[in-house]
């Protein structure tokens, strides 16, 4: 709360009027933005749309939901990227965006199998560019009925999967055996490793905190996140994507002007300082880390990394463990170069790319994140 806002708030009638509205404000859940979670597998009959209604629940960077699908060819889904939904400052080569598209494809394939459809995926059939995704198809997916198809045991966790952005419980250690249990879920070529030892936790807490500080202290990368803040129900419903701050506390802070994009960007403000403390509390409460590494780094490798990432996230859900990706040190912009090199020295063998790094632990239950409905994503 900065001084001017505090004075305005404490000035007489404003605070009384504001308090009177808190009850109404606090109950404003962004129901429409969460509806796609309830609609998955329910509102569509057509097999491709049924599968896609789950795919749109995929984890993806900054919840940009950069997918668009063309269903004009029978039995076929053509996946393209929405080029207006990239993260040019923190993800200049669209590597992370591609991973998110891999998560989307994996959930689509898993959901199709539930309905007895096998999906043949042709990735980047017209080629790809490693410096930027473009208008060419990311995948052409062909659906084919197959009654012999096995179902995926991870599918039942799709509805409860989360990226948990809350501090983890410092009193609950993570069983090191879980690294192997979760890692076994990766079947698309990633090498999974992790560490829950005190020494590794300390080293990676430090490195991920430093990387987060670099992102926040670099104005253009921080602004890329802050521009995606959705504060309170009205903003979340208008744009069910980005970094959502909904629920009673944020609704109230937003309504009182105590949390604004402008204030957060002002490095001299309390909002900026408090925001930093809040995110660093996450890196500092890691109770272990898990990482995902690939030998190559082609677009196909990145898609396969995404397919494995969502499987890891689902396997962690099955094990009752919380996960939060910590991608800052993996980002490819000049200010991060030193940390990018160091994290690769720590976690990768020569020539390998660390595609994902996350913290592990036990966090409070967190809610579902907003989604655009499937109909908004049809070309
Ligand atoms: C490639 C990739 C990178 C991500 N990086 C981060 C990150 O650095 N920090 C974070 O809190 N979440 C990260 N996430 C998680 C997304 O923010 C999350 O998936 C999205 O907000 C949707 O929320 P949900 O996964 O709970 O449905 C990442 C996800 C992906 C796929």
Q: Could you give the number of structural domains in the chain?
A: 2
Out of 112, 138, 159, pick the residue that ends a domain. Answer: 159
Domain of residue 270, residue span: 167-230+259-361
State yes or no: pLDDT of 242 exceeds 60.
Answer: yes
**Is ligand 1 within 6 A of the CB of residue 304?**
no
Nearest CA to ligand 1 atom 1: 96
Q: Is the CB of 63 under 6 A from ligand 1?
A: yes
CATH of the domain at 201: 3.40.109.10
How far apart are the CA of 150 and the centre of ligand 1, in A?
A: 29
- First CA to last CA across the chain, in angstroms? 43
> Token match 């595609």: residue?
355
Does residue 116 lie within any of the structural domains? yes
Residue 49 in domain: no
Let me know if residue 17 belongs to a domain: no
Enter the pTM of the model: 0.94
Measured in Å, residue 135 CA sits from the centre of ligand 1 at: 24
DSSP count for the chain of H helices, then E strands: 14, 10
Rounded distance from Cα 18 to ligand 1 centre (Å): 34
Q: Does 198 lie in the same domain as 346?
A: yes
What pLDDT does 248 receive? Answer: 86
On whether both 201 and 294 belong to a single domain, the answer is: yes
Inside any domain, residue 239: no
Q: From the CA of 164, how far away is ligand 1's center (Å)?
A: 9
Tell me, yes or no, whether 320 and 174 share the same domain: yes
99 Cβ closer than 6 Å to some ligand 1 atom: yes
Last residue of a domain, one of 159, 190, 221: 159
- Say whether both 103 and 86 belong to one domain: yes
What is the distance, to the nearest Å, from the Cα of residue 189 to the centroid of all Cα atoms in its chain?
21
When pLDDT is cut at 50, 70 and 90, the band that residue 247 belongs to is: confident
Q: What is the whole-number distance in angstroms between the Cα of residue 88 and the centre of ligand 1?
A: 16
Same domain, 139 and 288: no
Q: Is 209 left (phi over 0), alpha (psi -120 to 50) or beta?
A: alpha
Task: Assess if residue 243 is contained within a domain.
Answer: no
pLDDT at 249: 87
Atom of ligand 1 lying closest to residue 165 CA: 11
Residue 355 forms part of a structural domain = yes
| Same domain? 273 vs 347 | yes
Please give the pLDDT value at position 27. 62
The Å distance, Cα 63 to ligand 1 centre, comes to 7
Do 138 and 97 fall within a single domain?
A: yes
Are 175 and 74 contained in the same domain?
no
Query: Residue 369: inside a domain, yes or no?
Result: no
Q: Say if 132 falls within a structural domain.
A: yes
Tell me the per-residue pLDDT of 155-203, one tens digit each, with 9 for 90 and over.
Answer: 999 999 999 999 999 999 999 999 999 999 999 999 999 999 999 999 9
pLDDT of residue 8: 40
Q: Is the pLDDT at 12 greater than 90, yes or no? A: no
| Residue 3 banded pLDDT, cuts 50, 70, 90 | very low
Give bridge partners of residue 291 from the DSSP assignment: 193, 357
Q: Which residue puts its alpha carbon closest to atom 13 of ligand 1? A: 325
Q: Are residues 185 and 124 in the same domain?
A: no
pLDDT in tens, 340-368: 999 999 999 999 999 999 999 999 999 99
């Amino acid at each position: 709360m900065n001084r001017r806002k505090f004075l305005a708030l404490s000035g007489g009638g404003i605070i009384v009027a504001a308090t009177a509205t808190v009850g109404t404000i606090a109950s404003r859940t962004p129901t429409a933005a969460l509806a796609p979670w309830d609609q998955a597998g329910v509102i569509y009959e057509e097999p491709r749309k049924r599968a896609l209604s789950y795919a749109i629940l995929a984890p993806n960077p900054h919840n940009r939901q950069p997918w668009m699908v063309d269903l004009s060819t029978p039995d076929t889904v053509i996946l393209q990227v929405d080029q207006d939904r990239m993260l040019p400052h923190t993800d200049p080569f669209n590597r992370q965006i591609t991973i998110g598209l891999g998560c989307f494809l994996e959930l689509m394939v898993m959901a199709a199998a539930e309905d007895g459809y096998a999906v043949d995926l042709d990735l980047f059939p017209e080629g790809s560019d490693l410096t930027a995704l473009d208008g060419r198809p990311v995948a052409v997916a062909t659906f084919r009925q197959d009654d012999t198809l096995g179902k995926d045991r991870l599918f039942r966790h799709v509805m409860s999967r989360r990226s948990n952005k809350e501090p983890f419980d410092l009193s609950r250690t993570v069983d090191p055996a879980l690294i192997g249990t979760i890692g076994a879920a990766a079947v698309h070529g990633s090498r999974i490793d992790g560490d829950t030892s005190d020494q590794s936790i300390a080293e990676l807490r430090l490195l991920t905190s430093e990387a987060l500080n670099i992102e926040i202290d670099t104005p253009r990368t921080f602004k890329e996140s802050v521009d995606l803040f959705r504060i309170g129900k009205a903003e979340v419903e208008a744009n069910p994507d980005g970094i959502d701050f909904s629920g009673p506390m944020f609704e109230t802070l937003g309504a009182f002007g105590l949390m604004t994009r402008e204030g957060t960007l002002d490095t001299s403000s309390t909002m900026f300082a408090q925001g930093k403390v809040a995110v660093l509390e996450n890196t500092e409460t890691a109770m272990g880390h898990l990482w995902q590494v690939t030998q190559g780094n082609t677009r196909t490798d990145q898609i396969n990394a995404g397919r494995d990432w969502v499987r890891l996230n689902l396997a962690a859900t099955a094990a009752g463990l919380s996960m939060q990706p910590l991608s800052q040190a993996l980002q490819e912009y000049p200010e991060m170069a030193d940390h990018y090199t160091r994290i690769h020295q720590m976690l990768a063998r020569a020539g390998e790319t660390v595609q994902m790094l996350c913290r592990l632990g036990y966090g409070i239950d967190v809610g579902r994140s907003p989604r655009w409905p499937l109909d908004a994503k049809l070309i």
